[in-house]
Amino acid sequence: MDDGRLIRVEKYRGDAKAVIFIVAITNPSKAVDPIRKKAADPADEVQDLGRVGAALLTALKLLPGEFVRADSQR
């Protein structure tokens, strides 16, 4: 499996209630798309924070294209 991306969704810069997602998509610009479409509000800021390793995606049992909140239980 390829690496994935860490994506943050916030209402405004510095939002203390920002939500972090782990996305099983390698390309940073493509990794924000499913979050914008399925998890974020239109006015939210969606940012790519960086790469996550394939081992984490495997441990979370994420298939390519899937995502999960970093604070959710699986």
pLDDT at position 72 is 80
11 burial type by CB count under 10 A (0-12 exposed, 13-18 middle, 19+ buried) = middle
- pTM for the whole thing? 0.92
pLDDT at position 62 is 96
Q: Which residue in the block uniquely carries the two structure tokens 């493509």?
A: 30
Q: Is the pLDDT of residue 74 over 80?
A: no
pLDDT at position 59 is 95
Hey, where are the domains in the chain? 4-69
Per-residue pLDDT of 20-67, as tens digits, reads 999 999 999 999 999 999 999 999 999 999 999 999 999 999 999 999
